[in-house]
Amino acid sequence: MFSILCLFPIFSIHAESEVFATRGLFVSMIQDPQALSSRDGVSELINFSKKARIKTLFVQIYRANQAWFSSQVGDSSRYEAALKEIGEDPFQLLIKEAHKQGIEVHAWLNLLSLAQNKNAPMLQKYGSEILTKNLKDKKTLEDYKIDSQYFLEPGDPRVGEELSNLVGEILEAYPDLDGIQFDYIRYPDKDPHYGFTKMNVERFKKATGIQIIEEKSAVWQNWKRAQVTELLELLIKKTKSIRPDLKVSTTGCMSYSRAYHEAFQDWPGWVNSGLIDFVTIMSYKRDPAEFQKQIEDARSRVSDFGKVNIGIGAYELLNLSQDFTKQSELCEQARGGDCVIFHYGNLLESTALKRAVYSGH
């Protein structure tokens, strides 16, 4: 997740008994070719997962307002092309084949980032006023970019309605889905002075009675944090109304300070309150020592560390297989939730990483 996304374990906790920690794998829409684009791609992913002892696949079926399913909210053009190529719904095919192997499938959704998609249907429908902004002048659409991305404003009810409808589309279409993971459920954390859309500011003033907003005021910052949490609550309410049994999770920015004070994302609060079933922390560091610090930081924030999946950023470790192996060991030894790797496409790029995943060494 440029900021984003979280991963998997590779080693046995007790080598003599061959007991392995459970593993997860992110399957990204950005890899080429995308796993859902052909029947062979689906088969290869399932075979890879079997060899790598993957328990859970987090499959990116929504990113940048593009949908790998039939959608009125997102652009479904790539889904429609794959549907024509395969002859059946590619995500449904993946769920069916994964279940035959005892593998869970969770829908992974990048929610508040439109990436660089100027043609996003939501932008075409509402215009730039649904994009979060700072106080600098905005003369063109390009001026709204943050870290090379367009970000939706979490405090805009229209955004909440569109994303809630999107969740409904997915859950109605895939009744066999095992879980749903909400990613990019946050404000931008790069130069975090955002939230100044007309609608968000008007709602803040009406709710608080404060007419002059000071960026560093606790009231304003708590308001932004509340907008993120309330959006998540809305999406979970929609989820539970259709699938009360479904596992619900989010990704979590790391460090905690970055998440809470810059991205206005209180993922420890979500875990500790029971709002979500688990979080996958984006502990994407090259240095194993820094990776360990991220794990211990997360452990100190929650009452049940078993609800914290630990992410391993393979994209950072393509030429550092020894560090990948070390992080995998640290992840397993942490005794948290699953170890989840980001992402499948990166493993296909690196023979050394793929070998490590297969062998457990």
92-141 confidence digits (pLDDT tens): 999 999 999 999 999 999 999 999 999 999 999 999 999 999 999 999 99
3 found inside a domain: no
pLDDT of residue 359: 84
> Percent helix, strand and coil across the chain, each rounded to 5?
45, 15, 35
Query: Torsions phi, psi of 105, nearest 5?
Result: -125, 125
Kindly report the CATH number assigned to the domain that includes residue 242.
3.20.20.80
**Helices 39-51 and 77-86: angle between axes, nearest 10 degrees:** 90
CA 348 to chain CA mean position, Å: 20
**Residue 11, pLDDT above cutoff 80:** no
CA 128 to chain CA mean position, Å: 24
Partners of 67 in the beta sheet?
Answer: 62
User: Rounded mean pLDDT of 137-149?
Assistant: 96
4 found inside a domain: no
pLDDT of residue 315: 96
pLDDT of residue 14: 36
Q: What confidence tier does 190 reach under pLDDT thresholds 50, 70, 90?
A: confident
Above pLDDT 90, what percent of the chain?
92
**Residue 17, pLDDT above cutoff 60:** no
182 found inside a domain: yes
Above pLDDT 70, what percent of the chain?
94
135 found inside a domain: yes
pLDDT of residue 46: 98
81 found inside a domain: yes
Counted domains in the chain = 1
Q: What is the mean pLDDT of the chain?
A: 93
209 found inside a domain: yes
Can you give the pTM of this predicted structure? Answer: 0.94
260-280 confidence digits (pLDDT tens): 999 999 999 999 999 999 999
Q: Which domain holds residue 154?
A: 12-359
Partners of 180 in the beta sheet?
Answer: 107, 248
**Tokens linked to 110:** 């990048």
5 found inside a domain: no
Q: What confidence tier does 221 reach under pLDDT thresholds 50, 70, 90?
A: very high
Q: Alpha-carbon dihedral of residues 67, 69, 75, 81, nearest 10 degrees?
A: 110
53 found inside a domain: yes
